[in-house]
Amino acid sequence: MILPALVLDTGNSFTHAAVFSGDAVIDISSLPTQSLENEIEARKLVERILHDHPDVCHAAVCSVVPSVGGLLRRVLGGILSGSVIDISSSLKLPFSLNYNPPSAFGADRLAFCSFCSSFFSKGPVIAIDIGTAITFDVLVPNEGYFGGLIMPGLDMMSAVLHDRTAKLPRVKVTGPVALLGRSTAECMKSGVFWGCVKQIEGLLKDIRHVLAEKNGQHDVKIIATGGSSRLVASSLQESILVDDQAVLKGAKVLLDLNVEEAW
């Protein structure tokens, strides 16, 4: 019998909770991470999920917000009969992590890379998480983690323009915008959105060049996830696979690797 498993992905803006049956997501919900900063709300979330899925035994918490991640682990540990794992570099991984120090590699990046390594293992993969920050992580077969980079996301770019100037307003990019604006807000949205798109296109081109030059790798898979991934990917010239649940699926991969009991 395959028992359902719970995975919680706590990001800077939102927390996503997914119940898995094997590799399939059978239930998913999201709420603002800020709402989980006290034990009462964290317990309400867990109890609601377990009310609908009482057979859940094991869980994984993938968090980039230490206080919320720790709270969720404590709540789960006090309720579940099985294991509750924290996604970190101390776990058994499906790829070699060449990073200094390994403990500084974010939980969301670990889960995303685990997903890519497990489901797209035949060639090099560029994993792009387009959220509050934008991360690029490159995996190469038989070598593991090849390298990566971190840059500001759309909201962060917008916030800096507002916070570091006297008169520029705060804007939010919620959809593709014209290349050239005709108001201050339109110009800011255009600069943020198209600046991000062109940065990503240029970086992908350069990463492809490095992989071809150093490893002779030309057939590169590009996977994107994160809150702004579909918005940005829709305007990229590159062919990209977008998977909104990649971090959740990667955390489930790590849960399976690190819990001894058969599912």
Report, as ranges of residue numbers, the positions in the chain whose pLDDT lies below 70. Answer: 1, 260-263
- In the three-class reduction of DSSP (H, G, I as helix; E, B as strand; rest coil), residue 149 is classed as strand
User: Considering Cα of 185, then 132, then 250, then 100, what sign does the dihedral take?
Assistant: positive
Structural domain boundaries in the chain: 5-86, 122-245
Is residue 138 a contact partner of residue 124, using CB atoms and an 8 Å limit?
Answer: yes
Beta-strand ranges (E) seen in the chain are 5-10, 14-21, 24-32, 58-63, 84-86, 125-130, 133-140, 144-152, 221-225, 241-242
Question: What does the pLDDT read at residue 261?
Answer: 46
Helix (H) or strand (E) holding 71: helix 66-79
Rounded Cα–Cα distance for residues 188 and 180 (Å): 10
Q: What is the dihedral sign for C-alpha 224, 229, 231, 235?
A: negative
Other beta carbons within 10 angstroms of residue 115's beta carbon come to 26
- Provide the 3-class DSSP secondary structure of residue 127: strand
Q: Which amino acid is at 77?
A: G
CA-to-CA distance for 196 and 173, rounded, in angstroms? 11
pLDDT for residue 1: 61
According to the model, what pLDDT value does residue 168 have? 94
- pLDDT given for residue 262 in this prediction: 42
Mention the CATH class of domain 122-245.
alpha beta
Q: What is the pLDDT of residue 263?
A: 43
pLDDT digits (tens, 9 = 90+) for 101-110: 999 999 999 9
Residue 159, token pair as written in the block? 């916030």
pLDDT at position 213: 87
Cβ count within 10 A of residue 52? 12
Let me know if 108 is a catalytic residue: yes
Choosing from 108, 129, 137, 256, the catalytic residue is 108
For residue 82, which of 51, 60, 107 has the smallest C-alpha distance? 60
Parallel, antiparallel, or unpaired for β 14-21 and 5-10? Answer: antiparallel
Can you spell out the DSSP letters for 1-69? ----EEEEEE-SSEEEEEEEETTEEEEEEEEEGGGGSSHHHHHHHHHHHHHH-TT--EEEEEESSHHHH
Q: 151-180 burial, b for 16+ CB within 10 Å, e for fewer?
A: ebbbbebbbeeeeeeeebeebebeeebeee
Q: Which CATH superfamily is domain 5-86 in?
A: ATPase, nucleotide binding domain (3.30.420.40)
Q: State yes or no: cis peptide before 141, omega within 30 of 0.
A: no
Identical fold, 5-86 and 122-245: yes
Rounded to the nearest integer, the mean pLDDT of the chain is 93
